[in-house]
Every structure is written in structure tokens, then in C-alpha cells.
Amino acid sequence: MGGISILKEREKQIYQKGTQPFDMSCEKKSLAGSISQRACVFCGSRVVLYPIADALHLIHGPIGCASYTWDIRGALSSGPQLHRMSFSTDLQEQDIIFGGEKKLYNALVTLIDKYSPNAAFIYATCIVGIIGDDIDSVCRRVSKEKGIPVLPVHSEGFKGTKKDGYKAACDAMAKLVGTGPTEGISPLSLNIMGEFNIAGEAWTIREYYERMGLEVVSVFTGDGRVDNIKRSHGAALNVVQCSGSMMHLAETMNEKYGIPYKRVSYFGLEDMSKALYDVAEHFEGSPEVMEKAQVLVREEINAIYPTLKRYKEKLRGKKAAIYVGGAFKAFSMIKALKSLGMDVVLAGSQTGNSDDYKLLRNMCDDGTVIVDDANPLELSKYSIEKGVELFIGGVKERPIAYKLGIGFCDHNHERKLSLAGYSGMLNFAREVYSSVTSPVWQFAPARKSS
């Protein structure tokens, strides 16, 4: 397995700590012909916006883009379920030749009449950018006629990477922000950003803040509602997780409304507690917030610590690999795995920037391999070389890990349990433990021979 060749152009996107000077190249477009694990602009926009449950999400393009993104993320809603439907203009050859604007208009009007959504997001796919449909003007027209915000999302797949899709989503949401009333919002208030309520994670985080006496104005975008987004500029602070997807909106809101923001992570005991303390610090004029945060952290950690310790004893010294979408997620995960006594020997992301990778390098031990935009051959090569026993990744990595006889934990769309917060850390430890120590590995050919 050692003999795989690496594309020359990719050499600088792979780094082994301690062996070379650090000159990691990243934020590059994937090479044509490489088997990247990345996706497209549309994918980025779709995952960010789709949890807004009372909005209409209409995909303008051929059917595929709608089919592949129909309710795939498990972003839970406590109320409307409109976001779990899949709406498409299903463009046909005729539309490609004569344009799809009329179809888009008719589809929009039909849907808005039927479902009375509070806003509509219209996603442009590759083809719309090529045939030149003026979706902006269709959106303006329908918005005027129907009296709701109809927002074009410029997410043509080829116009960059998933990151550019996050930006397009933020741009669309920025048009909603500032259009609602802010009366009655507490000065002790915040928006939760970059939390998508997969497996109910946003509910956990919201509850923590509320226990600290803080008002959550809007969650971007887990269990999201249009009206909350409209009045979100009334919040005193933006708290941004998964910085890749929401930093752009946080910065826009900072410029426009002077709302400061903080970057946090809700994963792992260390980062979770830091997030609460950082937020409490922001409200230092109200010292009771910090006091409540301290009580909360103490209570929560005391509740799970004994169980966590038992897992740690079993997991100590096991080797882990991490390959995730955004690099920020990798930082928290490294800390969390270390807190379980595990060693991270391979870490990488699809979309990290050079600052991310510098930070990643500083967190890792010597010998750790760091990869940007890796392909399956690279991931499997280093997993075997490094003796990885747990792989953390997404849908496309799972079967690769299993083929190698390696335990797996999904930290992406297919997580089955909430992994955020203190209860989430316990879930994570349990999932890691169950996968790493599964009796199936005793039969795995790779483990047998080693």
C-alpha cells in the first residue's frame, strides 16, 4: 500500500509534521482528474440555508441537484417541515434552449400560493448561469406580487468551491437581516451562527445560553425561522461556530450593525466551556451571566465526567484520523480526542486556509500527517501507515475506513446522535468507544496480520 504515487501538484497539500519545513498550500481549486472528496458551490449554499424551516427552497435547474439534496442533512425543526420537501423546476431540453425564467416564475407563484412561506430562496444551479436566466428579476417580480422576500442564491456549481456557496447563502440571508422589528430584545442577547441543529444540537446549545440568562434571537440556521433572522440585528452578539460557513454573515453584520462576533466551537469539553465563558465575558457588565456559566459548566461536567473517564481508560493511546469539511471542526476534534487519551496521527480538511493549517500543525504531535483536499488513496495510505484505529469523516470516507478494518465515527451529515455540548461529548465518547472496540475488528484481515 506504500507505493501510491502522489500527483506532483499535490505534494504541497500534504505535510508531515517534523520532517519538512511548513509551506502548506491550500485553498486551491481541485485538480481536474483528481478524486477529491469536495463538493460544489450549490452544495455549500444548500446545506447552510436548508434548515430554515418556514422558508420555501426552490432549486432552479435539472432534477439532479434537487434529488441529491432532498432532506439529506437531518436538520431538525420543532415546527414547520417545509424544508424537508424537495422543489425543483426540473428543467428540460426545451427550457435550456428557450430559457427557464417563465417556468421559474410559474413554479414560484404556485408554491407561494400553496404554502404561504415566510420567504423563498431560489437556488441557481450550473445551467442557470450558462443559459443566462435572470433569476434576480424574476425574484424581484414575485416578491412584489406576493409580498414576501424572494431571494436569489447565486450558487452556480462551477463558480468556486463549497466555501463560495456558504458566501452566497450568507449574502442571501443578509438581505433578510435588518428587516424585522427589534423591540423587546434583551441587551443580554445573541445569535447562534453556524449551528444547523443536526440531531437537535442547536436545541442543546440554546438551552445552555438560556440557562445563562441570555436571549437567543436567531439561530443561523438550525430550526431557523425567517422572522427571527429578520430581527437578528437586534442581538448584542453573534456567536459563530463552524466559521467557514457563517463568518461572512457575521462580518457583514458587524460592518452594517456594529454587532461584534466571537468564534466558538461546541465540540468537546474544553471548547464547549470556553465558548460559554467567552460569551459570558462579553457580557461582563452583567456578572451574573458568568456566575451562571460557571455553575452550568460545573454541573454539566460533573454529570458526565465519571462515565467519560471510563471511556478514556479504554481508549488511551488509540490512534485516530480526522478528515472533515472545515478545518475549524478539526481543531475541536483533536482536542476532544486528546481529552479521551487518543493520538491524532492524520488530520485534514476539504477547505482549510493557511492560517487553519498553521494552527493545526501547532496542535499536532510530531509525525502527524496533515492533508488538504485529500483523495481516498492518500487517506487510506496514511491510515494504514500510521496504524489508525478510528477514522472521523463523512459519508464517502465511511466505507473506506470499514474496508481497511478501521472504526468510524461520522461527524458530518450522517451523525445519528447530537455531538455538541456536554451531553454530545458523552455521545461522541460512546460512539468512538463502540466503534473502536467493536468485536468485528478481531476478524478484520488487516488487524489479524498486524
Site for other proteins in 411-450 (CB under 8 A): 444-449
Q: How far is the CB of 391 from other proteins (least distance, A)?
A: 11
**Cell triple for residue 310?**
471510563
295 binds other proteins (CB under 8 A): no
62 binds other proteins (CB under 8 A): yes
Strands 343-349, 369-372: parallel, antiparallel or unpaired by DSSP? Answer: parallel
351 binds other proteins (CB under 8 A): no
387 binds other proteins (CB under 8 A): no
The stretch among 263-271, 360-368, 375-383, 423-431 that binds other proteins (CB under 8 A) is 375-383
Q: How far is the CB of 53 from other proteins (least distance, A)?
A: 11
115 binds other proteins (CB under 8 A): yes
Buried b (16+ CB within 10 A) or exposed e, 322-336: bbbbbbbbbbbbbbb
* Residue selected from 14, 24, 43, 202 as contacting other proteins according to rule CB under 8 A: 43
Nearer to other proteins, 39 or 216 (CB): 39
The stretch among 85-93, 248-256, 326-334, 430-438 that binds other proteins (CB under 8 A) is 85-93
* Residue selected from 107, 247, 336, 370 as contacting other proteins according to rule CB under 8 A: 107
Which whole-number Å values give the CA distances from 246 to 170, 194, 198, in the listed order?
7, 6, 16
Strands 14-16, 369-372: parallel, antiparallel or unpaired by DSSP? Answer: antiparallel
Tell me the C-alpha distance between 292 and 313, whole Å.
Answer: 31
363 binds other proteins (CB under 8 A): no
The stretch among 14-22, 133-141, 153-161, 182-190 that binds other proteins (CB under 8 A) is 153-161
> What amino acid is encoded at 269 in this protein?
L
Contact 250, 193 (CB under 8 A): yes
Q: How far is the CB of 270 from other proteins (least distance, A)?
A: 32
Q: How far is the CB of 133 from other proteins (least distance, A)?
A: 12
244 binds other proteins (CB under 8 A): no
141 binds other proteins (CB under 8 A): no
Using CB under 8 A, count the residues that bind other proteins: 83
Nearer to other proteins, 31 or 363 (CB): 31
Contact 313, 338 (CB under 8 A): no
Torsion of CA 368, 164, 267, 360, to 10 degrees: 20
31 binds other proteins (CB under 8 A): yes
SS3 19: coil
Tell me the C-alpha distance between 31 and 38, whole Å.
Answer: 11
Tell me the C-alpha distance between 116 and 2, whole Å.
Answer: 58
87 binds other proteins (CB under 8 A): yes
Nearer to other proteins, 97 or 313 (CB): 97
258 binds other proteins (CB under 8 A): no
392 binds other proteins (CB under 8 A): no
Tell me the C-alpha distance between 91 and 111, whole Å.
Answer: 17
* Residue selected from 52, 53, 126, 275 as contacting other proteins according to rule CB under 8 A: 126
114 exposure class (CB count in 10 Å sphere: 0-12, 13-18, 19+): exposed
Buried b (16+ CB within 10 A) or exposed e, 405-417: bbbbbbbbeebeb
Nearer to other proteins, 125 or 221 (CB): 125
Q: Any idea what DSSP says for residue 29?
A: P
The CA-CA-CA angle for residues 409, 412, 414, to 5°, reads 75
Residues numbered 157-186 forming contacts with other proteins, rule: CB under 8 A: 157-161
* Residue selected from 91, 150, 172, 198 as contacting other proteins according to rule CB under 8 A: 91
* Residue selected from 37, 189, 191, 221 as contacting other proteins according to rule CB under 8 A: 37
The stretch among 76-84, 307-315, 330-338, 431-439 that binds other proteins (CB under 8 A) is 76-84
The stretch among 111-119, 232-240, 288-296, 325-333 that binds other proteins (CB under 8 A) is 111-119
Half-sphere exposure (Cβ direction) of 101: Cα atoms closer than 13 Å: 15
